[in-house]
Amino acid sequence: MTDVEVEAYLDEQRTLNIATISPSGHPHLVAMWYARIDGEIVFWTFGKSQKVLNIRRDSKITALIESGDVYNELRGVELIGTARLIEDYDKIVEIGTAVAVRYNGPPAASETGLDFIRKQAHKRIGVAMTVDKVVSWDHTKLGGAY
């Protein structure tokens, strides 16, 4: 995919699979809802989650977004980089709001929605991803020749 196609793909897809490094050295793989703030992939999670513990120990992270049900429809983007934990309450609220609006629409930013997000933010941590490498594929471009 071109850079423009990767950006559009990241905006249209819904689930980000992230892998961090567990204490045993194995990948810890989980699916997350995400948003983009200033072009950066962000998500929030519970502060005591395994992924946060893993990131505190080793900030390496890989993310995968993929789609397609048959071979000639397969598309995906792998993002390789480092995770940055965000523990500032206001930034966590910003991330939580961006994720909520992305998945639930503008009503998620209503006063009722923001009240819920603010309460959740006390026990959550934001995660921002610095991407060092992008790998992408788009089998729809193969035209049946593979």
pLDDT per residue as tens digits for the range 123-145: 999 999 999 999 999 999 988 77
| Ramachandran assignment for 72, one of left (phi > 0), alpha (psi -120 to 50 degrees), beta (any other) | alpha
Q: How many CB atoms lie within 10 A of CB 28?
A: 17
DSSP 8-state class, residue 36: E
pLDDT of residue 146: 67
What CATH number is associated with residue 111? 2.30.110.10
Assess whether pLDDT exceeds 90 at residue 87: yes
pLDDT per residue as tens digits for the range 97-121: 999 999 999 999 999 999 999 999 9
Provide the percentage of residues in the chain whose pLDDT is more than 70: 99
Domains contained in the chain, number: 1
Assigned domain for 144 exists: no
Structural domain that includes position 63: 3-137
Tell the burial category of 32 from Cβ atoms under 10 Å away from its Cβ (0-12, 13-18, 19+). middle
pLDDT per residue as tens digits for the range 19-78: 999 999 999 999 999 999 999 999 999 999 999 999 999 999 999 999 999 999 999 999
Q: Tell me the C-alpha distance between 83 and 85, whole Å.
A: 6
Assigned domain for 143 exists: no
Assigned domain for 142 exists: no
